[in-house]
Amino acid sequence: MIKSIAHRRVLLPILLLLTVAVVAASADAEPKTDRDGQTVVADIRSGKAQKVPTAKNREVTYAGVWRGCKFVTLKYHNGTYKFPDGEVVEVSENPDPLPPKDKLDKDGKDCVDREPTEAEINAMRAEINARNAPARPPGAPPFDLDAERAKERRAS
């Protein structure tokens, strides 16, 4: 009987404090925002974060990659991962491998390393933006990157 009372006196405060700790910890369980990139990458690779399905129309993103004398279109996959603490992270993963440089440029001439022209960059941007086709705010016209950049140049 005495032993039982003694056990209760020892165990009860522990249980009480454990309960407080668990409640406090769960109250703090809203998604954290301080997980840095390197930690996220490590946690995804170690399986701590669970992959959740990504919307079909958001599975891949196309990008324009300069390959010495012409642009090539490459893609990466968009993944969504959820951590045990509730944080959800969108990631870019599995980028296409960089293809070897072509021997010929888009005009059939020898491919010589150079920088892209403004016209080539603009054409590539238009093609990539159309291919990825983002949603628009209600009433907003298509996002005209060239016009915005021209405005920016004027402002500076």
Helices (H), ranges, 2-144: 2-27, 37-46, 118-132
Q: Is 112 in the site for another protein (CB under 8 A)?
A: no
Amino acid at residue number 112: V
> 103 near 110, Cβ under 8 Å?
yes
Cα–Cα distance list, 141 to 74, 77, 134, 136, 138 (Å): 27, 27, 12, 8, 9
Q: Is 65 helix (H, G, I), strand (E, B) or coil?
A: strand
Nearest distance in Å: CB 108, another protein:
22
Among 105, 111, 123, 129, binds another protein (CB under 8 A): 129
Q: Which is nearer to another protein, 40 or 105 (CB)?
A: 40
Amino acid at residue number 145: L
Q: Annotate 64-115 with DSSP letters as a single string.
A: EEE-SSSEEEEEEEEEEEE-TTS-EEEEEE-PPPPPPPPSB-TTSSB----P
Amino acid at residue number 37: G
> 105 near 69, Cβ under 8 Å?
yes
Size of the site for another protein (CB under 8 A): 60
Nearest distance in Å: CB 109, another protein:
19
Q: Which is nearer to another protein, 14 or 107 (CB)?
A: 14
Q: Is 95 in the site for another protein (CB under 8 A)?
A: yes
What is the β-pairing status of strands 50-52 and 71-82? antiparallel
Q: Is 36 in the site for another protein (CB under 8 A)?
A: yes
Q: Which is nearer to another protein, 53 or 134 (CB)?
A: 134
Q: Is 69 in the site for another protein (CB under 8 A)?
A: no
Q: Is 98 in the site for another protein (CB under 8 A)?
A: yes
Q: Which is nearer to another protein, 30 or 152 (CB)?
A: 152
Instruction: Return residues touching another protein (CB under 8 A).
Output: 5-6, 9-11, 13-14, 17-18, 20-21, 24-25, 36-41, 44, 61-66, 68, 74, 76, 78, 89-93, 95, 98, 113, 115-116, 121, 124-125, 128-129, 131-132, 134-140, 143, 145, 148, 152, 155-156
